[in-house]
Amino acid sequence: MPIKTIKDHFSSNPLKNHFESNVLMEHFKNNSLKNHGIYFFNDNMENGVLNQFYSSSNFEFRRFSWDDLDECTQLFKSVFSADPWYDEWTSLDQARNYLKELIGNPVFEGFIYCENSNIVAVCLGHRRSGWMGNEFFIDEFFVENNKQSEGIGTKTLDLVGKVLFDMGYTRLTLLTNKSIPAESFYLKNGFYTNEKRTVMVKEF
């Protein structure tokens, strides 16, 4: 790749721009996290992997673990069975199998946002190495029905981005439906639509 293209890519990177303009990042830059009751857990390691990222008296942000599967499945099924998705998961087992497949991906990475020890937001995805840099593809992102539109999705996405950015990831990518609240949510959070891309499906 020519040097100019590399420079253009990094200078126009949506993730970087988003964090640079983001209020939360200002807190990180100003080292004022402790004033807000948020702590970074450097010592919470398992097999060399950091598991808990941020915590305060009212929330916890951590890496997904298999122990979260059942609670995440319940949440996933109730969120996507509701407006505007109306997905028709026939059983909890079917939804659990779907999530198990995502989690079984060797490049899987997941994040959990909890309030009062209950999971209220989930981000499940996978890492991708590409010629444009390390990218994180969000397979599923959801906030508990009763907690939507309260800023939790924005906060979770900020924390996911912060952790991934620190790990050397420069892009977030995802697929979503047009003209639903999720589309405006992502646009508001610094994503743009790649007009050159299309989704293609062949059914048998």
Q: Which single residue is written with the structure tokens 């743009």?
A: 192
134 in contact with ligand COA (CB under 6 A): no
Which residue lies nearer to ligand COA by CB, 44 or 189?
189
Q: How far is the CB of 76 from ligand COA (least distance, A)?
A: 9
74 in contact with ligand COA (CB under 6 A): no
Q: How many other CB atoms sit within 10 Å of the CB of residue 90?
A: 7
Rounded to whole angstroms, how far apart are CA atoms 39 and 51?
13
Half-sphere exposure of 147 toward its Cβ, with a 13 Å CA cutoff?
20
120 in contact with ligand COA (CB under 6 A): no
* CA-closest candidate to residue 114, choices 54, 40, 60: 60
181 in contact with ligand COA (CB under 6 A): yes
φ, ψ for residue 87, nearest 5 deg: -65, 145
Structure tokens at 43: 């010592």
Q: How far is the CB of 157 from ligand COA (least distance, A)?
A: 8
> Please, which of residues 135-174 interact with ligand COA by CB under 6 A?
141-143, 148-154, 174
Binding site for ligand COA (CB under 6 A): 79, 141-143, 148-154, 174, 176, 181-182, 184-185, 188
